[in-house]
Amino acid sequence: MIGAGTIGASWAAYFLSRGLPVSASDPSPGAPDLLRRMIENAWPTLMRLGGKPDADPNAWTFNADPVVALEGADFVQESAPERLDIKQDLLARIDAALPPDVVIASSTSGLLASRLSERCAHPERVVIGHPFNPPHLIPLVEVVGGAKASPEAVAAAMAIYRAIGKHPIEIRKEVPGHLANRLQAALWREAVHLVAEGVASVADVDAAISEGPGLRWALMGPHTTFHLAGGEGGMEHFLHHLLPALESWWMDLGDPKVDAAVQAMLVAGVAEGTGGATTGELAQRRDAALVRLLEARAAG
């Protein structure tokens, strides 16, 4: 684990729960304490969600020097700050310190794989392995090889994530933001537009998702959802009968300008909709609900 902030520490806890020893590195003086707290806090939940009974939460080491931390590594998950220059320099150092067959995966949420590996001697083994926050709970990992990574490196990363219980998906073409973040961005753009135009409050826009299609999306994606909407005729029937209406809605979607006034509306709307709860309180509620949802899906 190169980079042991919030994302890296969450990754580390998950890898440990699957019985894998972890060597971590981060330049922050507070990183070891954050890592320790994350593992301790997440461990009961990880055991509840399928962690190995004999997994050791103390099977981790830490060194501020990433080169030292890399000694003997079989797989690297980089989770440094989301800045291209920082990641390029760090990945070049990681690449130089490892045998060329060790896969290096970056947790970047939107940078391109081919740009990240520009300074590496072996760009063919650098892929993106983008988790969703919090990585120790959300199954999805987006794997992107881009223009330079080899098919073997992509396949190896997919196999590693699958072996530890994640749900990796392969992004076949590099695009900024990968896949899921682009889908999130598209939805939020329209959500902001609807608030800015006075169509509904922030709370009601959020409820329109969490109390409606969001429940279905926790079980199946948009294509399968609309396939079911077509009834016995499935997607073919849906496209024949409902596509014209959808296309007319697409033409009417907004392109909001998030100026100071709109930003103020969003800030005030979120405060009102959440009842003034802190982000820490909201995260606790979210994570507790996520655990129950994951258990329900596993049981079903």
Half-sphere exposure (CA, 13 Å, Cβ side) for 291? 15
Residue 61 has pLDDT above 90, yes or no: yes
Note the pLDDT tens digit of each residue in 111-146.
Answer: 999 999 999 999 999 999 999 999 999 999 999 999
Q: What integer pLDDT is reported at residue 228 of this predicted model?
A: 95
Of 113, 141, 171, the one marking the end of a domain is 171
Residues 197 and 150 placed together within one structural domain of the fold:
no
Note the pLDDT tens digit of each residue in 185-217.
Answer: 999 999 999 999 999 999 999 999 999 999 999
Of 134, 150, 171, the one marking the end of a domain is 171
Number of domains in the chain: 2
Q: Is 292 exposed, middle or buried (0-12, 13-18, 19+ CB in 10 A)?
A: exposed
Note the pTM of the prediction, 2 decimals. Answer: 0.94
Residues 31 and 160 placed together within one structural domain of the fold:
yes
Residues 150 and 186 placed together within one structural domain of the fold:
no
CATH code, 236:
1.10.1040.10
Residues 163 and 188 placed together within one structural domain of the fold:
no
- Does 1 fall in a domain? no
Q: What integer pLDDT is reported at residue 63 of this predicted model?
A: 97
Residue 16 CB: number of other CB atoms within 10 A?
A: 25
Note the pLDDT tens digit of each residue in 163-182.
Answer: 999 999 999 999 999 999 99
- Once rounded to an integer, what is the mean pLDDT over residues 96-101? 96
The angle, 0 to 180 degrees and rounded to 10, between the axes of the packed helices 202-210 and 260-273 is 60
Q: What integer pLDDT is reported at residue 169 of this predicted model?
A: 98
Q: What integer pLDDT is reported at residue 49 of this predicted model?
A: 95
Residues 107 and 247 placed together within one structural domain of the fold:
no
Q: What integer pLDDT is reported at residue 292 of this predicted model?
A: 95
User: What mean pLDDT, rounded, does the chain reach?
Assistant: 96
Residue 147 CB: number of other CB atoms within 10 A?
A: 12
Residues 232 and 267 placed together within one structural domain of the fold:
yes
Q: What integer pLDDT is reported at residue 242 of this predicted model?
A: 93
d(CA 55, CA 47): 9
- Does 143 fall in a domain? yes
- Once rounded to an integer, what is the mean pLDDT over residues 9-19? 98
For residue 110, what are the domain limits?
A: 6-171
Q: What integer pLDDT is reported at residue 261 of this predicted model?
A: 96
Residue 300 has pLDDT above 90, yes or no: no
CATH code, 29:
3.40.50.720
Q: What percent of the chain has pLDDT above 90?
A: 99
CA distances from 228 to 124, 243, 263 (A): 41, 14, 37
Question: Shortest CA distance to 77 belongs to which of 128, 28, 13?
Answer: 128
